Amino acid sequence: MKLYSVCVLGFGVFLASCGGGGTPVAGIDRGGPPAPAAIVSKGTITGFGSIVVNGIRYETDGATFDVDGNPGTQADLRIGQVVVVQGTIADDNSSATASSVAFNDLVEGPITGIVTATGTITVLGQVVTIDADTSFDDNINPPSIEGLAVTDIVEVSGFYLSDGSISATRIEKKLPGGEFEVTGIVSNAGADTFQINNLLVDYSAAQVRNFPGGAPEDGQLVEAKGDEFGGELVASEVEFKLGDLPGGAGDRAEVEGFITDFTSSSAFEVEGIPVTTNGGTSYVNGEAPDLALNRKIEVEGSIGTDGALAASGIEFKLSNFIRVEGLVEVRNGTQLTILGITIDTNALTRFEDKSSLDDRDFNVNDVNVGDYIEMRGYDEDPASIPPMVVATLVEREDFRGEIAVRGFVDLDSLNDPQFSILGVTIQTDTGTQFRDAGGQSIPAADFFSSAEGRLVEAKGSPANGGIAATEVQFET
């Protein structure tokens, strides 16, 4: 399915020159640093204290903020939201400045269905996937799919998959009485109605804005808003959206998201944005043959005259199957040690303080020994011993007495009643609940007979550097 990205346009074109310190005479630059390059970046907010997107920290003192089509401030934004940043950046990446930051949620409305087994919810007819890359607002307790209920009104930020469903990067509950909204591709367009995936939109009384032909047509990207929903959305406003990256030819660009349309490894789309590669494109965590529909990547390059993103580099986003919850034992620079596991953080790690300290600018330098941390990430080299764990998300929370680890059961570690994950000893007893991947109880013997090498999460209390498990469950 071809999908067009949700980008807020209209912030203007970058200034072509931002003069350095030299004095130009007769067309000759008499010294000084080179002019910063224009940049546009679409990705997840991973930090504040300015704003961090796609591993780059942008100063925002002079930036304008657009939040769901309305003027806003940086204080309106949250970790995990997907934004579009425009600004300038030094050639050596040493500094970057945002001129504008825009956030648009993908859907906001009541939950009409929850399937815990698949980690999906339905909001205004849109299927939303919740996984290890999803951040939850403090008003969702517990911070997982279990903290949601049918009829809850939620705002979802994230990325599209090729079928139009949404992979959520942040979910927040909203109070009743607000406006519902959804962005997506029009299908089954008629005189007064159209569909966005499984949602029927009645726009007979709506303000219709910016459509080239005057009305919605199949295949167009639109945003529909309204405050009446009873199986269909009665729209008060419907607006046509463009899918191009803002900025001009030659501007630097960075885009995070899933491959939503795939022709070949040299021509595909990410978030509906055309991407081209060539023999000079570099790759991290994969190679060109690994490019495929619904692979999550980050693309860096420049905007061509045709509006496509010419990729100079592509990073494959690895699955966040590792989860560690526990007290920090050591912090060494950007490395944390929890339950004896050494965890690397980097410029792409998402930091959020959900403890009573509530430090909005929380980052790795604010982590203290004894802090309770929930970390999600991946093993950079599964063949290495000890594991090379890289954090994609670090959340500081108030300690509730429970610690946990999720990962593959270490080979040759099964010795009923104990085993290990990532080198952490898991001690079980007659009080431990063993569960299959669907959450159903199973006998301990069934677990130990089939657990080697499988993905498992163990929860419990601290015990001699390991975990005294109250619950052990297979994961998919």
- The DSSP result for 344-409, as a single string, is E--TT-EEEE-STT--TT--GGG--TT-EEEEEEEES-TT-SS--EEEEEEEEE---S-EEEEEEB
The answer to whether 206 and 236 are in contact (CB under 8 A) is yes
Question: In this predicted structure, what is the pLDDT of residue 414?
Answer: 95
CATH 2.40.50 fits 180-241, yes or no: yes
How many whole angstroms separate alpha carbon 463 and alpha carbon 213? 67
Question: In this predicted structure, what is the pLDDT of residue 18?
Answer: 33
Q: Where in the chain is the domain with CATH 2.40.50.140?
A: 252-316
Question: In this predicted structure, what is the pLDDT of residue 66?
Answer: 97
Question: In this predicted structure, what is the pLDDT of residue 10?
Answer: 30
The answer to whether 398 and 372 are in contact (CB under 8 A) is yes
Question: In this predicted structure, what is the pLDDT of residue 7?
Answer: 35
- List phi, psi (to 5°) of 75: -65, -20
How many whole angstroms separate alpha carbon 379 and alpha carbon 387? 6
Q: 432 vs 410, 440, 444, CA distance in Å?
A: 19, 13, 8
The answer to whether 57 and 96 are in contact (CB under 8 A) is yes
Q: Which two tokens stand for residue 453?
A: 């090498």
Fold for domain 252-316? OB fold (Dihydrolipoamide Acetyltransferase, E2P) (2.40.50)
The answer to whether 85 and 40 are in contact (CB under 8 A) is yes
Type and span of the H or E element at 208: strand 207-209
CATH 3.40.50.720 fits 322-400, yes or no: no
The answer to whether 224 and 201 are in contact (CB under 8 A) is yes
Question: In this predicted structure, what is the pLDDT of residue 24?
Answer: 35
How many whole angstroms separate alpha carbon 168 and alpha carbon 264? 26
Beta-carbon-side half-sphere exposure of residue 251 (alpha carbons within 13 Å): 24
**Mean pLDDT of successive 10-residue stretches along the chain, which has 476 residues:** 38 31 36 74 97 97 96 98 97 92 97 95 98 95 96 98 97 96 96 97 97 96 96 96 86 97 97 96 97 98 95 95 97 97 96 96 97 95 82 96 96 95 96 94 96 95 95 94
Q: How far is CA 43 from the centre of its chain?
A: 7
Question: In this predicted structure, what is the pLDDT of residue 403?
Answer: 98
Q: Where in the chain is the domain with CATH 2.40.50.320?
A: 107-174, 322-400
Fold for domain 107-174? OB fold (Dihydrolipoamide Acetyltransferase, E2P) (2.40.50)
Task: Residue 126: name the closest of 71, 174, 167 by CA.
Answer: 167
285: left (phi over 0), alpha (psi -120 to 50) or beta: left
